[in-house]
Amino acid sequence: YDFDRVTSFLGDWGPFQRTVVLLLSLSTIPSGYLGMISVFISRTLDFRCKASVDPSNRSSAGTCSRYQVDGNWTQGPGLSNDTEPCLDGWDFGNDTHGSTIVTEWDLVCEDAWKVPFSTSLFFFGVMIGIFICGGLSDRFGRKPVLFIFLAVHGVTALVQAISVSWVMFCVLNWLKGASHSYSVSIILGSELLPKASRVVFSTLAICLGYCVGYMLLPLSAYFLRGWRMLLVVSAILSFLQMPTWWLIPESPRWLLHQGRVDEAELIIRNAARRNKVPAPEVIFRAVESFHHMDENSGEKRTYNYTDLVRTTNIRNITVLSSSIWMCITFVYYGLSLNTSNLNGNIYLNCFFSATIDTFTYVVLWLLADRVPRPALLSAAMMYSGFTLLILKLIPEDNLVALQVLSLVAKFGATGAFTFICLIVTELMPTVVRNMGVGVGATSGFLGTIIAPYILYTGIYMKSLPFLIFATVSIAAAFFGMLLPDTRNSKLPDLIREVKPIRG
């Protein structure tokens, strides 16, 4: 059956659709805030060794040793030519930037590896969480999983704000990442909305919600100047979503595939009442719930991750989309996290980065139904790749040019990052859609685990991270051309409806 055709009497942009778009877009604000929070809470400020006896016994900024105090006390203490470790700890730059986990636990010099590790651990949590929530939401429903994850994130962020050690911070950072709910919001909205409003939701509205969270981050960091309070704000943003439980319905597509026809009909009838349009006497026939049965035998079954490789078409889509997603996410988060390394004001840099994202979402929305999906995806990554290659031609001391080009290159990566989720959502069938998106997003966040360490190589050669990001971007562009176009296509419901890749 064609769900979009059966429910077409609702229209495209009634009060019901507008409410769904607004509320699910707001649900991504915590994800946008949280995704880049390490830019501020894990920032390494200028540091130097604390003085011991002689006030002049301090290292130069950024070094991990100091001159030893001469033991000849007859003529007063002095400095020898020998050095020693920073035995008395470190002094950090002025406190106008507030406290970070680096200043809290002295994560510099031999402990500097703990900074990118904690960030990678967060993204590792995101990867695991997306993988888990895909199976959970396909089994127990989109709506309960979305709100459980929001609640877990809020509680975890609050507890993390009172962390007493770096280890405690890291454990909670992983759990906070595992409660990432962005993909569930996209799936739920895509299944609730008809095609016209679905494209606007997936390419513009939900992305703008994410971007609002991203923009709130530098504003909060500027006024609060402390990593603990930034986490408290993150928790509050999640808790504010809880009342929308009574306004956001479950996916009727998912209910139909569970055989819960009456519940699916009730949601559509309520939507018709909201939109003030008459509903047919019978919306879904009982036979239309049989899609939760096996496609061949007709027996009732539960779908699992092995179904993502059951046929040639879905196996090719799963492998190809996961590979592309990993490349895109690696580049997007690499360039976003690089905000703290750019010259100039970190708060403005982060805000400008979010502004670029907003502009990208608008352009993407305008092109989404006018350009083939694979061509638009590939063009975005090719643009990003070649822009990053130009950075190699810029002298490393020209910080302004490097800064501008890195932000401009993010334009393409942002577009592709947004678009890949829409494409995979439209390619995967309803029976395994959340699992399919979950596997793709999980693969994507493998790249984010590596990204902080790639940025760390910039201390040896400033352009090296950009060269790596450029190479990966161009590879993703070539892979993207193999995906089938999903424009003007209904969402597939069964595995046999999955499109083949283009050879």
Per the model's pLDDT, the better-predicted residue between 463 and 71 turns out to be 463
Q: What is the mean pLDDT of residues 138-151?
A: 87
Q: Measured between alpha carbons, how far is 406 from 13 in angstroms, rounded to an integer? A: 38
Instruction: Identify whether residues 255 and 380 lie together within a single domain.
Output: no
Instruction: Identify whether residues 482 and 394 lie together within a single domain.
Output: yes
Instruction: Identify whether residues 287 and 373 lie together within a single domain.
Output: no
Confidence (pTM): 0.71
Q: Which domain holds residue 459?
A: 305-502
Q: What is the mean pLDDT of residues 249-273?
A: 85
How do residues 268-297 score in pLDDT, each as one tens digit?
888 888 888 887 777 776 545 544 455 555
Closest CA to 91 of 42, 44, 47: 47
pLDDT of residue 296: 55
Instruction: Tell me, yes or no, whether 300 lies in a domain.
Output: no
Instruction: Identify whether residues 270 and 381 lie together within a single domain.
Output: no
SS3 218: helix
Helix (H) or strand (E) holding 362: helix 346-367
pLDDT of residue 236: 92
Closest CA to 16 of 213, 234, 275, 192: 275
Instruction: Identify whether residues 24 and 167 lie together within a single domain.
Output: yes
Instruction: Identify whether residues 272 and 334 lie together within a single domain.
Output: no
pLDDT of residue 94: 58
Q: Is the pLDDT of residue 446 over 50?
A: yes
Instruction: Identify whether residues 363 and 425 lie together within a single domain.
Output: yes
Q: What percent of the chain has pLDDT over 90?
A: 5
pLDDT of residue 63: 65
For the record, the structure tokens of 456 come out as: 């760390």
Per the model's pLDDT, the better-predicted residue between 368 and 154 turns out to be 154
Instruction: Identify whether residues 119 and 252 lie together within a single domain.
Output: yes
How do residues 50-96 score in pLDDT, each as one tens digit?
665 555 544 444 566 666 655 544 444 454 556 666 766 677 765 55
The two beta strands, 47-49 and 65-70, are unpaired
Torsion angle (degrees, nearest 10) of CA 120, 211, 444, 251? 120
Instruction: Tell me, yes or no, whether 66 lies in a domain.
Output: no
Q: Measured between alpha carbons, how far is 211 from 416 in angstroms, rounded to an integer? A: 15
Which residues are CB-neighbours of 483 under 8 A, at least 6 positions away?
317, 320, 321, 324, 373, 374, 377, 423, 427, 501, 502
For the record, the structure tokens of 367 come out as: 């092109």
Instruction: Identify whether residues 265 and 313 lie together within a single domain.
Output: no
pLDDT band at 168 (very low <50, low <70, confident <90, very high): very high
Q: What is the mean pLDDT of residues 464-484?
A: 87
pLDDT of residue 286: 54
Q: What is the mean pLDDT of residues 384-411?
A: 76
pLDDT of residue 361: 80
Instruction: Identify whether residues 318 and 216 lie together within a single domain.
Output: no
SS3 344: coil
Q: What are residue 49's DSSP bridge partners?
A: 90
For the record, the structure tokens of 268 come out as: 């559509």
Instruction: Tell me, yes or no, whether 143 lies in a domain.
Output: yes
Per the model's pLDDT, the better-predicted residue between 53 and 467 turns out to be 467
Q: Indicate the number of domains in the chain.
A: 2
Inter-residue contact 144 to 455 (CB < 8 Å): no
pLDDT of residue 243: 92
Instruction: Tell me, yes or no, whether 415 lies in a domain.
Output: yes
Instruction: Identify whether residues 285 and 315 lie together within a single domain.
Output: no
pLDDT of residue 448: 75
How do residues 212-243 score in pLDDT, each as one tens digit?
888 898 888 888 878 889 999 989 999 998 99
Instruction: Tell me, yes or no, whether 237 lies in a domain.
Output: yes
Instruction: Tell me, yes or no, whether 409 lies in a domain.
Output: yes
166-184: b or e for each residue (b if 16 or more CB lie within 10 Å)?
A: beebbbbbbbbbbbbbbbb
CATH number at 412 reads: 1.20.1250.20
Looking at 292, 319, 344, the residue that finishes a domain is 292
Inter-residue contact 134 to 437 (CB < 8 Å): yes
Q: Measured between alpha carbons, how far is 321 from 308 in angstroms, rounded to an integer? A: 12
Looking at 262, 292, 322, the residue that finishes a domain is 292
Instruction: Tell me, yes or no, whether 161 lies in a domain.
Output: yes
Q: What are residue 66's DSSP bridge partners?
A: 84
pLDDT band at 169 (very low <50, low <70, confident <90, very high): very high
Instruction: Identify whether residues 266 and 173 lie together within a single domain.
Output: yes
Looking at 246, 269, 292, the residue that finishes a domain is 292
Q: What percent of the chain has pLDDT over 70?
A: 83
Per the model's pLDDT, the better-predicted residue between 18 and 190 turns out to be 18
Q: What is the mean pLDDT of residues 421-446?
A: 80
Tokens 């779908």, residue? 303
Torsion angle (degrees, nearest 10) of CA 282, 284, 286, 288? 150
Instruction: Tell me, yes or no, whether 299 lies in a domain.
Output: no
Per the model's pLDDT, the better-predicted residue between 1 and 98 turns out to be 98
Q: Is the pLDDT of residue 170 over 80?
A: yes
Per the model's pLDDT, the better-predicted residue between 75 and 27 turns out to be 27
Inter-residue contact 177 to 124 (CB < 8 Å): yes
Q: What is the mean pLDDT of residues 382-392?
A: 84
Give me the phi and psi of 294, to 5 degrees please.
-65, 135
In eight-state DSSP terms, residue 338 is G
For the record, the structure tokens of 479 come out as: 């892979």
pLDDT of residue 74: 43
pLDDT of residue 184: 81
